[in-house]
Structure 1
Amino acid sequence: MKVKGIVHCIGGVAAALCFSLTATSGFAESVSLNVVDVAGNLALTKAGLEAFKAKYPDLVSNITYTNSPAPQLPGKLKAMQNAGRSDIDLVLTGTDALAAGIEQNLWMKLPDSQLQAADAKYAPGPAAMQKLAQGYGLEVTFMPAGPLIEYNPDKVPPAEVPKTPEQLLSWCKAHPNKLIYARPANSGPGRTFLMGLPYILGDKDPTDPINGWDKTWAFLKQLNECVPYYPGGTSAVMKELGEGTRDMTVTVTGWDINPRALGIVPANFKVQPFDNMKWVNDAHYMVIPKGVPKAKVDVLLKLMDFMLEPAQQAMTYDDGYFYPGPAVKDITISQAPQKSQITIEKYGRVEYGGWLKKYPNVQPLPAAKMVEAFKKWDSDVGAQKTK
């Protein structure tokens, strides 16, 4: 902590006092932090980050925020680290860039004591998701994601709403160019759909995308014939869905609620689970790239702990973007800001409560396997149609 009111420390008692104060606090100067978001997580956590800056002005002088596509960040970080630079202090990421960063050895290992303290705070689902970080990050938000089908009820009659992959393929073939989803490597709904299909289709090994997903890859190649193209992110998908260019997509809880709350997608659009589906959990993480100076690391570790406190966790209900949002146990919507409570009341779905009880939860692929799945989808499915 920056020591105020002592201008000079010279000899004897004064020097001892100066040393004692700075050593006890552990922070000599306030720092400026550069936070990069590759998951849309700032919608959930920016208020909490700003609260930390307001509470500890002697630790943080400024926070700058930047957004970046998840697939581009690992290469950018690798180049920085090879050049001995550290322009990025904290990354907010989903499982995509988390996995790529672990594979490429980009993230700093966190202290065991901090990881153990966080584990004691997490609810059961988030606690399982935290294991995916392998000690390189702290989970900050959680969502039992999907996959779900979202559709325009004015264009898709109830009898035509797909409940199985086979029905989805049939509908897509009968309505070419009306189904769309984004590239899985940069889309929460896209990767949830990709990882959920092996369970729904009954593939040999849903945890092995190379040797155990024969049915999934065959299905996606067939579906590819009636999908016009694959946007680079989910926002573009929702824009086309809301404008009426497309009639159907795959989604997750947060990407169902939030675009309707924001008016990007009409409020009357519907969602439908697949028969015999399993919820593929999703999460966002806070990770520190290697090479960040120790003075900043010390502040960042304190900031990460702060973001797991109840007040900051309750903010992550936000406008339903990553529904429900909190990773820490015993955080309810009644603790969220009033605006969040109103939004969830209006745009949330009562069906979610029943579906969350009806269908079991599974973990997404671990880092290395997820990267394998993304690479295979890029080469075998989306190679000619991704924009």
Structure 2
Amino acid sequence: MLAEIITIGDEILIGQIVDTNSAWMAKELNAIGIKVKQITSVSDDADHIIEALSQAEKRAQVILITGGLGPTKDDITKFTLARYFKMEMRRDAAVLAHVEEIFRKFNRPMIESNRKQADVPDGCTVIQNQNGTAPCMWFDHEDRIIVSMPGVPFEMMYLMEEEILPRLKKAFKLPVIYHKTILTANLGESFLAQQIESIEDSLPSSIKLAYLPKLGQVRLRLSTSGADEAKLKAEVEVYAQQIIEKIRPYVVVEDDIALEKAILDIMEKKGLTLSTAESCTGGYIAHLITQHPGCSTVYAGGAVAYSYELKESVLGVKAETLAKYGAVSEQTVIEMAAGAKTHFKTDYSVAVSGIAGPDGGTEDKPVGTVWIAVANKDGVVSKQFSFGNKRVQNIERSAIAALTMILKLLKEDAN
């Protein structure tokens, strides 16, 4: 079963917003056994929308559309769909009542453009949007299903979870699509491929291996599909364990989760706590950690200390250390990590100080020089890194390197 996603809006094509809808929808479709064949973004132009829809119908049985359902003149999706399906427009009484209730609830005046939200192509099945005024429209067309949803993410997500996915599961006999993900760190993609080449060559045609590299990490994803979920899992697990055995020192976790989430899970299980002391990363490590629900059971807090004064007053770095060695040094970052562990009363702490760039580098400390230290009950370990001259990449690389050092120390402590 193949699907195609079409996102509509000039704001996507000019880079004003990032299309997060498609990634989320593709993941949810995959989970119920529907593979996404293609994702297409088109402008607020009727001819472009019609062309995209026409081509999509040649490739997929399910077509999901988001965007262009608002009350303004540039929101042309439903009128374009009426033209495509050769349908007249009608005003849906239930949708109109819903819109009126929303405006009543918020004590806002209602104008004709708001009432037009209830206009839909005659012949579609209307699905009420409980989180907004724009209705969802379901079309059955020549054994294809076409669904048009609002582009507002939380409205689309609600409709997908509560209405569209259950209806698709009922409409089709869907296969099981099974993925097994292995998260690795500290080994590049090409070296990783070399290590597991013989295993990859032995994979049956029904199992595909994908390499998904990210700064400092590579996800290995084994994928297969079929009718018997237990059998699929058992088949994939055989090869997954062969891979894990071959590259065990570099395996972080056997799951499709972020590196920081893997660390949080390990520390929560062991009852350990963590704090951060950041300079050049500006709180990015704390951001990665705190985006995960439940992180407070592990993460106590941290400090973003750029100035010498804050490094001294908050983290306890000695003035003479800063004067003699500078902020970007092994000595300073060790004292930052030890100070954070003491100040925040945690089992582990991580500290980062470096020159993110694009300026600020010197001959002996060029842009991209970063020192990282991790402290625990046994002391402090530190390491110097030399990244590039791109500020954003240096911040991201520093964060991943810091997390990897925490993970390594956690594993060593477990042995």
TM range (shorter): under 0.3
Structure with higher RCO (Cα < 8 A, 6+ apart): 1
Greater strand fraction, Structure 1 or Structure 2: 2
Task: Give the TM-score taking structure 2 as reference length.
Answer: 0.22
Larger Rg: 2
